[in-house]
Amino acid sequence: MTTTVAATTIKARQRPGDRVFSGATVISGGLILAVLAAVAIFLLIESIPAFVAPADEFSGDITNFWSYVGPLVFGTIWSAILALIMAVPIAIGIALFISHFAPRKLAQGLGYVIDLLAAVPSVVFGLWGITVLAPLVQPFYSNIVDVFGWFPLFAGPVSGTGRTIMTVAIVLAVMILPIITAICREIFLQTPLLHEEAALALGATRWEMIRMAVLPFGLPGIISASMLGLGRALGETMAVAMVLSPSAVVSFVLLTSQNPTTIAANIALNFPEANGIGVNILLATGLILFVVTLIVNMIARVIINSRKAFSGAN
């Protein structure tokens, strides 16, 4: 009886530091939700005039907001998916090499180099893309169109500058590579050592051990890293605005001079000259980007939760 009373007393006497820390975490979590709600409400209020804007507020053949934002949404998602397709396999390979193949000193140095890519400003990536990458890949694009021009994705005419949606996707892939690599590397290092040793003890090669023990364990982490990289690619602004030669089109062709632009790049290019309802239209496209990013994160959460039981983490 005395022991129970003493334990209750100790539990009731919470230290001041614990109370401060607990309160700070609650306030921080609530602040994040409050800021997110404030951003959503602001965008929604400012977007209402754009949703009902007359046709003369838009240029060309565009008659309403949805026909204006449609190509932008397509370009945003298309460029991000292309970047993800290129970046994820490379990031997984680098992460596996650092965590399971490279000598310790080489792994540390390589890890630092990959992490440093995340510190490079996006404007530097944009300059690299427009001055180095685009001229470098343009002859390669010409050869692809000559050989594989019959395939719809590589139909001509080829861009003479190399500033295409494919070049933008390459730049975005390089930009999201350190994010995906760093997360995958840490996830692979958390694989239970007993799982790896058990696979090797049964006669598995190192690759078979990785395929049977490491990758299944790290699959939710790989998905999380990929979705985080996708979110970065969806919201990238300066690199896309500097590299891409945009057009208000919906096209899957990768190597032509007419390329769909992205929402973020369109806002960056047009906001300085926008006025009146033009500002509301750009803010409305920002609301659409906000919703797209939110949907991507929700889908990622559903996928991760469905795979959690099979990850080996439990």
At residue 310 the predicted structure's pLDDT band, cuts being 50, 70 and 90, is very low
Task: Look at 10-14, 67-71, 151-155, 164-168 and tell me which has the smallest mean pLDDT.
Answer: 10-14
Give residue 307's pLDDT. 60
Residue 297 CB-density burial (10 A; 0-12 exposed, 13-18 middle, 19+ buried):
middle
Give residue 53's pLDDT. 76
At residue 2 the predicted structure's pLDDT band, cuts being 50, 70 and 90, is low
State mean pLDDT over 52-58. Answer: 73
- Structure tokens given for 137: 């890949």
Give residue 309's pLDDT. 53
pLDDT in tens, 78-93: 989 999 999 999 999 9
Give residue 54's pLDDT. 76
State mean pLDDT over 287-308. Answer: 80
pLDDT in tens, 211-264: 888 888 888 888 888 888 888 888 887 788 888 877 777 788 888 888 888 888
Give residue 11's pLDDT. 52
pLDDT in tens, 267-290: 888 877 777 788 888 888 888 888
pLDDT in tens, 117-140: 888 888 888 888 888 888 898 888
Q: Is the pLDDT of residue 24 over 50?
A: yes
Q: Is the pLDDT of residue 12 over 60?
A: no
- Structure tokens given for 120: 């490079």
Does the N-terminal peptide bond of residue 178 adopt cis geometry, omega within 30 degrees of 0? no
**pLDDT higher for 218 or 56?**
218
